[in-house]
């Protein structure tokens, strides 16, 4: 049976019968999913205050000490007070949602009222937004505790990969001599090292996907239009997307549920009207979803060369697990043109930087240190990225030949991908996202990740494909049709259930008292 039909039949049942009810035993605060944490909170074994103390202890031990991950730019002034308030609300009224009292951290491009938003750019260190961004407002309304902002590749300034002019270099907990991806580097490091329950990144050319791959995480870019960008610094109005980065598919489904939706201030979200599921995405966490699913193996995305051999072996092993789980692999699936070369001609973020940056900067309060690209160049010209200066020199994109040609090329690729999926009746495409380990700090080697999802705006999921002999992550990607997030969640969760247990980073081990005993189940 086609997976789309199976999901429709199963969604109502799964929404009513949760598979995450915890029985007597223990819960590991380091590896528990959000739903497992929520069960411990409901049982009274755990409080949000205790959970917050747990993350603050790990931040103290590992972010500025130990491996010195340097993933965090700023923390809220009193996150424990917010946790205590949500504990009191839980006792009096019950939880608002499955995110009630759950601490999360977000990349420093998302507006969080009371915290500065700098994009890692030192001249904007004191730039405070007037209010929460749209996604942050939704997460907080669900009861999440957004308790800090994360380091990143500098949004505006010249800095090394995975580093910012404001906070310096973020480090990978799997190997602190390497970066945890870029540009959502701090999110990759913080989530991988269990410094929070989940995190947010943002993606122009791979900035959710690369750090998810390099940090052994599940990361999703939803269909362009599913998630608002209001209150989020962007580099591209046509491809920029925020997305969840998590240690498990369960956490990703919980986060995604509270991020999507229509926003009148970002009209690209009008595309989502009538196309989002009625159920929470956790309703699609089906362990047998791979059985009977038709997956196309997109061979043009497989790189060659001796440096890729180990990564490709891990990808092959992952695909074999998928096949054994009952999926039908259509292999190979190809296009009648050079896909990697065609994608190289669709990079438009450098052209869109000025209007995209100004969309965010112009909405800042009157006292903000920088409120336009021109003002940024005037005040901080020496450290402003050349791409921003080049974009500032473009008078208009309305008749810009290279820009219009890139848009046309991108649509051609989208049409070709959807046509091949229709031809073979595919539920998704699969291919390596990244077959090389994270870059060494200071490396400027060309990236070899897949740009397909980033350049097309199609929904995609990065999933861990195992660790190299050096213990470094490699990543597989599932790509779907527009608004096929329920299918991707189902496939990703089934893949997770049929894969070896995720290996945590060796440089950020468990601290004392991270395991709690749950009370007996008397149901």
How far apart, in whole angstroms, are the C-alpha atoms of residue 375 and residue 381?
9
Contact 136, 111 (CB under 8 A): yes
**pLDDT (0 to 100) of residue 1:** 42
Contact 284, 11 (CB under 8 A): yes
How far apart, in whole angstroms, are the C-alpha atoms of residue 83 and residue 103?
8
**pLDDT (0 to 100) of residue 28:** 85
How many CB atoms within 10 Å of residue 125? 15
**DSSP per-residue string spanning 505-522:** PTTSPPPTT-EEEEPP--
**DSSP per-residue string spanning 402-443:** HHHHHHHHHHHHHHHHHHHHHHTT-SEEEEEEE-SPPPBTT-
How far apart, in whole angstroms, are the C-alpha atoms of residue 239 and residue 346?
11
How far apart, in whole angstroms, are the C-alpha atoms of residue 397 and residue 206?
23
DSSP state of 77: S
**pLDDT (0 to 100) of residue 445:** 85
SS3 446: coil
**pLDDT (0 to 100) of residue 13:** 34
Q: Residue 241: name the closest of 493, 485, 413 by CA.
A: 485
- Average pLDDT for consecutive 10-residue bins of the chain (523 residues)? 44 34 62 95 96 97 97 98 98 98 98 98 98 98 98 97 98 98 96 98 96 98 98 95 98 98 98 98 98 97 96 98 98 94 87 96 97 98 95 95 95 97 98 97 89 96 98 98 98 98 96 71 50
Q: What angle do CA 158, 194, 91 make, to 5 degrees?
A: 120
Contact 83, 48 (CB under 8 A): yes
Cβ neighbors of 374 (< 8 A, separation 6 or more) are: 392
Q: What angle do CA 110, 210, 72 make, to 5 degrees?
A: 45
Cβ neighbors of 399 (< 8 A, separation 6 or more) are: none
**pLDDT (0 to 100) of residue 521:** 54
Main-chain phi, psi angles of 54, to 5 degrees: -60, -50
Instruction: Kindly list the catalytic residues.
Output: 107, 183, 207
**pLDDT (0 to 100) of residue 25:** 59
The pair of structure tokens assigned to 189 is 């490091």
Sheet holding 294-298, edge to edge: 72-75, 145-150, 103-107, 198-203, 241-246, 218-221, 460-467, 473-479, 428-434, 294-298, 328-333
Contact 43, 519 (CB under 8 A): yes
Outline where 258-383 has alpha helix (H): 309-324, 339-344, 349-361, 373-380
Residue with tokens 């049709």: 481
Residue with tokens 């929070």: 196
pLDDT tens, position by position, 332-371: 998 999 999 999 888 887 899 999 999 999 999 999 999 9
The pair of structure tokens assigned to 215 is 């940090």
How far apart, in whole angstroms, are the C-alpha atoms of residue 335 and residue 179?
34
The average confidence (pLDDT) of the chain is 93
How far apart, in whole angstroms, are the C-alpha atoms of residue 152 and residue 169?
8
Annotated domain spans of the chain: 26-502
**pLDDT (0 to 100) of residue 24:** 42
Cα 191 off chain centre by? 10
Q: Residue 357: name the closest of 326, 335, 385 by CA.
A: 385
pLDDT tens, position by position, 197-231: 999 999 999 999 999 999 999 999 999 999 999 99
pTM value? 0.94
Superfamily of domain 26-502: Amidase signature (AS) domain (3.90.1300.10)
């Amino acid at each position: 049976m086609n997976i789309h039909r199976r999901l429709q039949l199963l969604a109502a049942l799964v929404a009513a019968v949760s598979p995450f009810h915890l029985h007597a035993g223990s819960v590991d605060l380091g590896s528990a999913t959000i739903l497992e944490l929520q069960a411990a909170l409901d049982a009274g074994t755990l409080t949000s205050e205790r959970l917050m103390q747990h993350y603050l202890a790990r931040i103290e031990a590992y972010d500025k000490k130990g491996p010195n991950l340097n993933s965090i730019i700023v923390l809220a002034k009193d996150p424990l007070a917010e946790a205590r308030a949500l504990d009191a609300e839980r006792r009096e009224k019950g939880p608002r949602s499955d995110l009630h009292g759950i601490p999360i951290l977000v990349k420093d491009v998302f507006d969080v009222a009371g915290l500065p938003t700098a994009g890692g750019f030192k001249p904007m260190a004191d730039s405070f937004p007037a209010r929460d961004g749209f996604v942050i407002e939704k997460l907080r309304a669900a009861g999440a505790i957004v308790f800090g902002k994360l380091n990143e590749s500098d949004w505006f300034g010249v800095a090394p990969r995975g580093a910012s002019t404001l906070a310096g270099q973020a480090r990978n907990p799997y190997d602190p001599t390497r970066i945890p991806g870029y540009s959502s580097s701090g999110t990759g490091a913080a989530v991988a090292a269990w410094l929070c329950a989940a995190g947010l990144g943002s993606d122009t050319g791979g900035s959710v996907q690369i750090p998810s791959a390099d940090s052994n995480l599940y990361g999703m870019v939803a269909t362009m239009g599913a998630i608002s960008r209001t209150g989020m610094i962007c580099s591209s109005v046509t491809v920029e997307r925020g997305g969840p980065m998590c240690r498990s598919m369960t956490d990703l489904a919980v986060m995604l549920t509270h991020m999507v939706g229509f926003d009148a201030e970002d009209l690209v979200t009008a595309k989502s009207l009538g196309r989002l599921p009625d159920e929470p995405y956790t309703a699609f966490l089906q362990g047998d979803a791979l059985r009977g699913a038709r997956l196309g193996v997109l061979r043009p995305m497989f790189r060659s060369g001796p440096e890729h051999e180990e990564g490709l072996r891990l990808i092959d092993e992952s695909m074999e697990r998928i096949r054994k789980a009952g999926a039908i692999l259509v292999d190979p699936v190809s296009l009648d043109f050079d896909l990697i070369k065609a994608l190289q001609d669709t990079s438009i973020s450098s052209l869109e930087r000025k209007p995209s940056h100004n969309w965010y900067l112009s909405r800042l309060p009157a006292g903000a240190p920088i409120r336009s690209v021109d003002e940024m160049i005037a005040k901080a010209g020496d450290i402003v990225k050349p791409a921003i200066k080049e974009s500032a020199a473009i008078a208009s994109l309305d008749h810009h030949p290279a820009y219009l040609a890139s848009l046309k090329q991108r649509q051609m690729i989208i049409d070709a991908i959807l046509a091949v999926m229709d031809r073979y009746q595919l539920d998704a495409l699969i291919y390596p996202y990244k077959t090389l380990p994270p870059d060494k700090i200071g490396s400027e080697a060309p990236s070899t990740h897949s740009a397909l999802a980033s350049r097309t705006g199609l929904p995609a999921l990065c999933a861990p494909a195992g660790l190299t002999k050096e213990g470094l992550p490699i990543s597989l990607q599932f790509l779907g049709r527009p608004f096929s997030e329920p299918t991707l969640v189902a496939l990703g969760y089934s893949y997770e259930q049929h894969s070896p247990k995720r290996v945590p980073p060796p440089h950020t081990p468990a601290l004392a008292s991270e395991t709690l005993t749950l009370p007996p189940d008397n149901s």
